[in-house]
């Protein structure tokens, strides 16, 4: 099985590495462009997206990251990683930030609010259940999280998150939450927002699977990588312990 790269500039890369280790998969920290030549797939972790972008620019990683995506190699972005992969991001800090792009969607960088508004919730995940089994929901950990405002026609929506009718975003903002790719805009009427998608070789989640004991998203990504590498049979042999989907009693780290 090929080694999985984990972008290790800042954020929760150690947690992703630990999750891969639980599945018996070797991973390597990616900090320099030339290291991407040694991996067949890549995880871009959660973190502070502006800081990560500045560090990636400092190390001249953006051209290599874009080429990695363009070549069709599997890439999974979680939280800040989702922002990196999006073709367009709103709600950015003054001056904005550089993006890798490739994922046909618009992301709002801080859709769910500040660090104090971080939360956990159960997400319906029918596609994940169909391939990985286990419970019908996944405990999504949202830490100063983004959300996907709209998607293109080639993007498959994998999960939505409920948005409270009395929340600031629900009552005062306009956003797109359209899984079909058609242009549809509603104001103050949506009750859910997109938080997980797949487009070909790209996977993105607004939440943090690496902060739970449920390894199904990592297993799903590994099977994506296996399909591209032509070794899906070896990936499929990875067992998922369906008895270990208890809620993790974790403290939300301050790295977003």
Give 235's Cβ-side CA count (13 Å radius).
22
Is 210 a residue of the active site? yes
Other beta carbons within 10 Å of 57: 12
Sign, Cα dihedral of 111, 114, 117, 119? positive
Other beta carbons within 10 Å of 239: 10
Q: Which of 16, 108, 208, 218 is flagged as catalytic? A: 208
Is 79 a residue of the active site? yes
- Reading phi first (left if > 0) and then psi (alpha if -120 to 50, else beta), residue 144 is in left
Is 218 a residue of the active site? no
CA angle 5, 7, 9 (to 5 degrees): 150
Q: Which of 15, 170, 210, 218 is flagged as catalytic? A: 210
Q: Which of 16, 79, 105, 176 is flagged as catalytic? A: 79
Positions marked active-site: 79, 208, 210
């Amino acid at each position: 099985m090929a080694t999985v790269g984990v972008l290790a500039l800042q954020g929760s890369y150690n947690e992703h590495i630990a999750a891969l280790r639980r599945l018996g998969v070797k991973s390597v920290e990616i900090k320099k462009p030339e290291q991407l030549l040694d991996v067949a797939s890549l995880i871009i972790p959660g973190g502070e997206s502006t800081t990560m972008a500045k560090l990636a620019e400092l190390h001249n990683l953006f051209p290599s990251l874009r080429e990695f995506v363009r070549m069709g190699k599997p890439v999974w972005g979680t939280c800040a990683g989702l922002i990196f992969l999006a073709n367009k991001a709103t709600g950015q800090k003054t001056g904005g930030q550089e993006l890798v792009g490739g994922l046909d969607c618009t992301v709002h960088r801080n859709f769910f609010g500040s660090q104090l508004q971080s939360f956990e919730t159960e997400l319906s995940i029918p596609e994940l259940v169909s391939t990985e089994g286990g419970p019908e929901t996944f405990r999504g950990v949202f830490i100063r999280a983004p959300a996907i405002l709209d998607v293109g026609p080639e993007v498959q929506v994998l999960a939505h998150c409920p948005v409270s009718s009395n929340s600031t975003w629900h009552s005062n903002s306009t956003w797109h939450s359209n899984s079909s790719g058609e242009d549809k805009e509603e104001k103050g009427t949506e009750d859910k927002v997109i938080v997980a998608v797949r487009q070909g070789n790209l996977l993105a989640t607004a939440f943090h699977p690496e902060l739970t004991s449920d390894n199904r998203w990592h297993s799903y990504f590994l099977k994506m990588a296996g399909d591209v590498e032509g070794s899906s049979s070896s990936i499929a042999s990875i067992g998922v312990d369906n008895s270990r989907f208890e809620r993790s009693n974790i403290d939300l780290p301050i790295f977003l």
